[in-house]
């Protein structure tokens, strides 16, 4: 089996209604990343200094040396930026979620006390603010365990949320396997929370943001002035609020850093945005853990039997009859590169149709000839498949007058004689009258035209059948 693990389907065209508390049209969630004292530094036992997310253009690591300028920028975040943000959010009565690096929390007890006094959520941001992409799996697992231990020791309770940021391909799985987190935020792939399956565990994901994020003051393309940041936040809010007004409430995450937006010229934009959203009704500004608690109750995990994870026998059992009496199509479809995108009616339809379309004309004719005549002898003898019986009945073909039955019989005979296969039409798209009209029109077409049209109709019939199964 070839399987593609990435999930680019998500909720599809019809995401669930968030049903935020008190009829909120949007959930605006502020995250303050607390990394100061957990960054790369030779004082912390690292090989080099930090080079990420500072106001130093083109910063590079200094191997084996302390980078005095970089250290002092991070220190500004702890000494000044944090307190400026603390005054802003407590004054606005908006709680935040802290993404706290465990070693940074341990080195900043006054700030941790202030976070707790403000009833801010302190989620885990890992043990150290370092890159994880090249970290061996066992080392990363040990780092996660130590992050939880140290966080619990410093804060007084274990973290319920997790965000690494500089993660590896293993991070989300390893954090889920740890088993104690209500949510993980190491994704950027949706505007709503969702569930993933990691072994026997249903793990909630609350996606984060790298675009509604002050990090773009320190990266390119990025913000130049505070007004750039404000305009982007405002535009994002306006679109999401409108969607919520139209009945599809979403979540807006905003990422902040003490050493970045904590600077006066940048903070002005954040203050402006907070004042802006306070002018709207039905805006919820929760901590991330409150989003998690709400989603757990309102949209609990629901496991389904996934086509992409079925063995061939089960796949063929369910989908072997979608193309009439042609199980070989399902057998071959099972060998394609299937993934989460195929765990729905449209996905299975795509896989089956790919096999059908790439088959020889002779094989396609075999599929067409497996279809019964419309209102023909098999229908009269009640020997149709259950699917065909229901389809023909939906257009009233099981309740024909003697005159109508005779006309269908004659058309069936003439059509097969001319084209070599039965007349096929997706009857659910039609009425009895429009079927008769199509029959009389199409019989005059060339056989090549009718082969192409009949194949399209077979695919349409398959689409309806799969929609019924997945419903």
pLDDT tens, position by position, 101-160:
999 999 999 999 999 999 999 999 999 988 889 999 999 999 999 999 999 999 999 999
Which of the pair, 45 or 208, is modelled with greater confidence? 208
pLDDT of residue 282: 97
Q: According to the per-residue pLDDT averaged within each range, which of 57-61, 215-219, 448-452 is highest?
A: 448-452
Contacts of 17 (CB under 8 A, 6+ apart): 247, 248, 249
pLDDT of residue 384: 53
CA–CA separation, 252 vs 212, rounded Å? 8
**CB neighbour burial string for 427-458, b if at least 16 within 10 angstroms, e if fewer:** bbeeebeebbebbeebbeeeeeebbebbbebb
Phi, psi of 48 (to 5 degrees): -155, 175
> For the ranges 17-21, 261-265, 317-321, 372-376, which has the lowest average pLDDT?
372-376
Q: How many CA atoms lie within 13 A of 183 on its CB side?
A: 26
CA–CA separation, 86 vs 91, rounded Å? 8
Altogether, the residues listed in the chain come to a count of 471
If we measure between CA atoms, which residue out of 110, 111, 146 comes closest to residue 33? 111
Q: What is the mean pLDDT of residues 438-464?
A: 95
Residue 388 has pLDDT above 80, yes or no: no
Q: Are 423 and 411 in contact (CB under 8 A)?
A: yes
Banded model confidence at residue 378, pLDDT cuts 50, 70, 90: very low
pLDDT of residue 390: 67
CA–CA separation, 303 vs 41, rounded Å? 45
pLDDT of residue 380: 46
Banded model confidence at residue 221, pLDDT cuts 50, 70, 90: confident
pLDDT of residue 163: 97
The count of other CB atoms within 10 Å of the CB of residue 217 is: 24
Q: Helix 386-394 to helix 447-470 angle, to the nearest 10 degrees?
A: 100
pLDDT of residue 87: 98
The count of other CB atoms within 10 Å of the CB of residue 54 is: 23
pLDDT of residue 377: 47
CA–CA separation, 471 vs 269, rounded Å? 47
The count of other CB atoms within 10 Å of the CB of residue 279 is: 7
pLDDT of residue 105: 97
Banded model confidence at residue 427, pLDDT cuts 50, 70, 90: confident
Q: Are 352 and 324 in contact (CB under 8 A)?
A: no
If we measure between CA atoms, which residue out of 112, 118, 125 comes closest to residue 94? 118
Place of tokens 């209102």: 375
pLDDT of residue 227: 93
Strand pairing report for 194-198 and 201-205: antiparallel
> For the ranges 327-336, 358-367, 389-398, 457-466, which has the lowest average pLDDT?
389-398
Which residues are known catalytic residues? 371
pLDDT of residue 409: 86
Q: What is the mean pLDDT of residues 414-439?
A: 91
Dihedral (C-alpha) 224, 225, 227, 228: value to the nearest 10 degrees? 10
Token pair for 55: 């106001």
For 271, 424, 467, the CA distances from 84, given in Å and listed in that order, are 11, 71, 55
For 33, 234, 293, the CA distances from 167, given in Å and listed in that order, are 15, 29, 25
pLDDT of residue 16: 95
Q: Are 259 and 73 in contact (CB under 8 A)?
A: yes
Banded model confidence at residue 284, pLDDT cuts 50, 70, 90: very high
Q: Are 161 and 123 in contact (CB under 8 A)?
A: yes
> For the ranges 218-232, 303-317, 411-425, which has the lowest average pLDDT?
218-232
Banded model confidence at residue 449, pLDDT cuts 50, 70, 90: very high
pLDDT tens, position by position, 164-212:
998 999 999 999 999 999 999 999 999 999 999 999 999 999 999 999 9
pLDDT of residue 57: 76
Average pLDDT of the chain to the nearest whole number: 91
> With the C-alpha atoms ordered 16, 18, 23, 28, is the resulting torsion angle positive or negative?
negative
pLDDT of residue 218: 81
């Amino acid at each position: 089996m070839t399987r593609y693990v990435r999930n680019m389907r998500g909720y599809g065209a019809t995401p669930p209604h968030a049903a935020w508390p008190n009829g909120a049209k949007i959930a605006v969630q502020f995250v303050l990343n607390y990394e100061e004292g957990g960054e790369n530094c030779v004082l912390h036992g690292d090989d080099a200094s930090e080079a990420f997310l500072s106001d130093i253009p083109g910063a590079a690591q200094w191997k084996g040396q302390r980078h005095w300028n970089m250290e002092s920028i991070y220190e500004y975040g702890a000494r000044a930026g944090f307190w400026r943000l603390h005054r802003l959010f407590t004054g606005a009565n908006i709680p935040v979620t802290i993404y706290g690096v465990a070693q940074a929390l341990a080195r900043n007890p006054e700030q941790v006390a202030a976070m707790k006094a403000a009833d801010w959520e302190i989620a885990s941001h890992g043990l150290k603010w370092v890159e994880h992409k090249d970290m061996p799996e066992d080392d990363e697992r040990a780092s996660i365990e130590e992050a939880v231990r140290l966080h619990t020791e410093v804060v007084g309770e274990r973290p319920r949320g997790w965000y690494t940021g500089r993660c590896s391909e293993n991070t989300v799985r390893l954090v889920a396997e740890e088993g104690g987190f209500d949510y993980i935020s190491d994704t950027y792939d949706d505007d709503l929370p969702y569930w993933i399956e990691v072994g026997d565990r249903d793990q909630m994901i609350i996606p984060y943001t790298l675009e509604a994020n002050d990090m773009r003051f320190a990266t390119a393309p990025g913000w130049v002035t505070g007004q750039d940041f404000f305009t982007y936040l405002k535009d994002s809010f306006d679109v999401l609020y409108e969607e919520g007004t139209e009945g599809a409430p979403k979540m807006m995450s905003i990422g902040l850093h003490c050493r970045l937006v904590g600077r006066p010229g940048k903070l002005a934009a954040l203050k402006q945005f907070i004042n802006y959203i306070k002018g709207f009704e039905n805006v919820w500004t929760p901590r991330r853990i409150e989003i998690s608690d709400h989603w757990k109750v309102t949209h609990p995990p629901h496991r389904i039997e996934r086509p992409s994870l079925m063995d061939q026998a089960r796949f063929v059992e369910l989908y072997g009859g979608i193309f009439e009496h042609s199980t070989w199509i399902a057998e071959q479809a099972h060998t394609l590169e299937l993934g989460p995108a195929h765990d729905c009616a449209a996905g299975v339809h795509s896989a089956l149709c790919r096999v059908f379309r790439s088959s020889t004309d002779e094989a396609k004719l075999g599929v067409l000839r497996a279809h019964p005549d419309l209102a023909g002898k098999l229908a009269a003898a009640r020997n149709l498949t259950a699917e065909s019986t229901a389809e023909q009945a939906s257009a009233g073909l099981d309740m024909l007058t003697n005159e109508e039955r005779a006309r269908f019989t004659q058309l069936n005979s003439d059509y097969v004689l001319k084209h070599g296969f039965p007349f096929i039409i997706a009857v659910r798209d039609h009425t009895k009258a429009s079927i008769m009209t199509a029959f009389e029109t199409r019989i005059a077409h060339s056989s090549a035209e009718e082969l192409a049209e009949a194949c399209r109709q077979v695919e349409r019939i398959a689409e309806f059948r799969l929609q019924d199964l997945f419903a």
